[in-house]
Structure 1
Amino acid sequence: MFREKVLKPRVSIVCVVRKSIIVMLGPAGSGKTSLVASLGKWIEKKQLVPVLYVNLDPGAPYTPYAAEVNIREYVKVEDVMAREKLGPNGALIRSIELAREYLPEIVERIGRSPKPYVLVDTPGQMELFLFRDLGVEFVEAMRRVGYIIGVLIFDHLLAARPQDVVSLRLLATIVQLRLGVDVIPVINKSDVSSETRERLSRALSDSSSLLEELKSERGLLGEMSEKVVGVLDEYRFATRVPLVSALTWEGLEELYDMLHEIFCACGDLT
């Protein structure tokens, strides 16, 4: 049931421990929720570090992890649909607007947790978090709690062509600019053929290889893609793009190592 908002004075956050915060983003169906669950279990099992799971999707009635902080405690899409007579899309947008009102309480709860690692699952429709105020306000508030890294997740099917790889790298840059955080792009569901994996790995990590593939694209598309790659190389923020599988846990160690390197470089040793 929808909880009526009670106006409170500004919340003072008391952090039990400075946290390493990972915000998962990606298009619908890319496997954000599954990867949150798998990476969290991997960290707990392999690194023996407690993980706090946070769900910011008001439309997710089930998650494969136990969310100790869950936006659905405050706002549920189905309740908004019934109360305000909205369709699914309209109710999602309205739910995100309502969720902003509870950010101080949500951030305070995260800050008070003794768990040093925080995994944040964002709405299935990435644009609701990235291009509306919820995402920016959440990230700004969470800076008082710890250091934040974004993980941008793509399905390998969305990186089948060389221009798709360019789009992935460009979107990672947009996420970085919009939220003001370091971003690691990853390819999820990497349990594909070795040939596909090798091509993806080569195109994602080696710009010369990607530019070679782009030569087969004639006209404006190929020319524009080549110029975009050149600009992205000047401001490159990730030296490698891990191929991971939420199903088999393949690549999670590499992803964790990259996360840990960034956290450590920023003085947050966990």
Structure 2
Amino acid sequence: MQEFLGRVGRKVTVVNLDPANEAMPYQCAVDIAELITLPDVMENLKLGPNGGLIYCMEYLEANFDWLQEKLAAFRGHYYLFDCPGQVELYTHHDSLKNVFAQLAKWNFRLAAVHLVDSHYCTDPGKFISVLCTSLSTMLHVELPHVNVLSKMDLIEQYGKLGKSLCEGDTWNWAASGKLVEVIEDYSLVSFVPLNVQVMQQEEWGRESRECW
């Protein structure tokens, strides 16, 4: 997304809010590592990775002034916030939710993009779990929300998607079928498939046609 926005002439700033993110495949302008890192927390406070991430988010929440000062240097940009992947932070813990609320008070107009590996949709049980997790995240975060099935270029190795979902011998559809019906009937959760390789090819093709 950073590359895409840059190619269409938009000013973009990537903000890393994941204190465990060490090898970033993008140009980062604001990095939470300047404030706190997960390895330091785990070593100094003797916490595990889950407890350490929660502590880091609570620490960020307690240091809004640091975040505000860093973001102010890039006024007029589109901001991409890279957040931690720990699911508890989006389902029942409040620190990241409070960070988003504070950003809204600073007049940021936010939308959440929730990435889910597409292979979860090849197994009925995992698919139901993803539906419930996505719905819980949407309700808790309280932002405009896009659920994305990522790594679609790898889905073919799991066989035909429809067959995998319909022929789960051990899956009890009677127990969870009604839940799926409610989610579908009221359009509570939907997913957008994403194959970043295809997207890049289409964008490069568009650029080539414009240059031609």
TM-score with structure 2 length normalisation? 0.77
Q: CA distance change for structure 1 residues 195 and 86 in 2, over 3 Å: closer, same or farther? A: closer
What is the aligned partner in structure 1 of residue 54 from structure 2? 93
Deviation at 1:42, TM superposition (A): 1.9
Give the length in aligned residue pairs.
Answer: 202
Gap regions ≥5 residues in structure 2: 203-212
State how far apart, in whole Å, the 2-side matches of 1:167 and 1:128 are. 17
What is the aligned partner in structure 2 of residue 235 from structure 1? 186
What is the aligned partner in structure 1 of residue 205 from structure 2? none
Write the deviation string for residues 175-228 of structure 1: whole angstroms up to 9, x where unpaired.
11101112211111111365969736x99xxxxxx7xx38x6677x31232111
What is the aligned partner in structure 1 of residue 148 from structure 2? 186
- 2:88 is aligned with 1:127: yes
Q: CA distance change for structure 1 residues 43 and 80 in 2, over 3 Å: closer, same or farther? A: same
Q: CA distance change for structure 1 residues 237 and 114 in 2, over 3 Å: closer, same or farther? A: farther
Contact 2:18 2:82 (8 Å CA) reproduced: yes
Aligned CA-pair RMSD: 3.2
Write the deviation string for residues 90-113 of structure 1: whole angstroms up to 9, x where unpaired.
433322322221234314533552
**Aligned to 1:250, which of 180, 196, 199?**
199
What is the aligned partner in structure 1 of residue 23 from structure 2? 62
Does 1 or 2 have the higher relative contact order (CA < 8 Å, sep 6+)? 1
State how far apart, in whole Å, the 1-side matches of 2:11 and 2:201 are. 16
Contact 2:119 2:158 (8 Å CA) reproduced: no
**Aligned to 1:118, which of 56, 69, 79?**
79
For the residue of structure 2 that corresponds to 1:147, the secondary structure is coil
Could you list the runs of 4 or more consecutive aligned residues of structure 1 that deviate by over 4 angstroms after TM superposition?
193-198, 216-219
Give 1:34-183 correspondences, 5 Å limit: 39-45=1-7, 47-111=8-72, 113-144=74-105, 145-183=107-145
Gap regions ≥5 residues in structure 1: 1-38, 204-209, 254-270
Deviation at 1:63, TM superposition (A): 1.0
State how far apart, in whole Å, the 2-side matches of 1:165 and 1:57 are. 26
Of all paired residues, the percent bearing the same amino acid is 24
